[in-house]
Amino acid sequence: MRYRAGSEIRAVLVGGTHRPYPTDPAAMLPASMARICHSCGKRPAFGQSRSHSMVATKRRFDANLQKVRISESGAPKRVYVCTRCLKAGKVTKA
């Protein structure tokens, strides 16, 4: 039997379905600004750098995030947005 996290136990007790992540990417963001896209929730990916001798060292692939002022619920707010969302027009600049 595997260990159940608190949210899984609540989902089982209440009878609801367990979702590991909220559907809204903005709901995932903490009070401080993390390096996560405000619109789509894109975050850093992790992998390995390979040298000529194929020695693997851990590295981090950062998303192309830009700090922009957007208007959210009428008030301007400064958030990180990836360039893909900016080009697609998913956010309105303040």
For residues 49-55, average pLDDT: 97
Consecutive H or E run containing 66: strand 65-72
Compute the mean pLDDT over every residue in the chain, rounded to the nearest whole number.
Answer: 80
Higher per-residue confidence, 15 vs 87: 87
Instruction: Give me the CATH code for the 24-88 domain, please.
Output: 2.30.170.40
Give the residue extent of every domain in the chain: 24-88
pLDDT band at 69 (very low <50, low <70, confident <90, very high): very high
pLDDT at 63 over 60: yes
Compute CA distances 27 → 14, 18, 41, 84, whole Å: 22, 16, 10, 20
What is the reported pTM?
0.60
Compute CA distances 76 → 79, 91, 92, 94, whole Å: 10, 12, 10, 6
